[in-house]
Amino acid sequence: MLKPLSDRVILKALDKIEKTAGGIFLPDSAKEKPAEAEVVAVGPGQLNSNGQLIVPDVKVGDKVIYAKYAGTEVKVDGVDYIIVRNEDILGIVE
């Protein structure tokens, strides 16, 4: 398993619907990169200039929306993950 450092958050992209409203199935090359994901792990936070720890705003299990081209994609044990900074997370889906 991955352990994020600093203010990094590890996300697992949620599967999107693979066909259009008209019923046309989309090939992988035509699909948009998903911007919705589930938080898998959260780093401890980052120190600000005053030495105070700023803890990330999300917790494990949260469903979030993140910046479309943010982060680094990695594959561990056959599972794709995205590592983003806390600031790249735009909101929590409730």
Give the domain 1-11+33-94 fold: 10 Kd Chaperonin, Protein Cpn10; Chain O (2.30.33)
Q: How many other C-beta atoms lie within 10 A of the C-beta of residue 19?
A: 9
- Residue 64 has a pLDDT of 96
Q: Determine how β-strand 53-54 pairs with β-strand 46-47.
A: antiparallel
Q: Of 18, 29, 14, 19, whose CA–CA distance to 63 is shortest? A: 14
Per residue in 20-69, pLDDT (tens digit) is 567 666 555 545 555 899 999 999 999 999 999 999 999 999 999 999 88
Phi (first) and psi of residue 61, to 5 degrees: 100, -15
- Residue 71 has a pLDDT of 92
Per residue in 6-22, pLDDT (tens digit) is 999 999 988 655 655 67
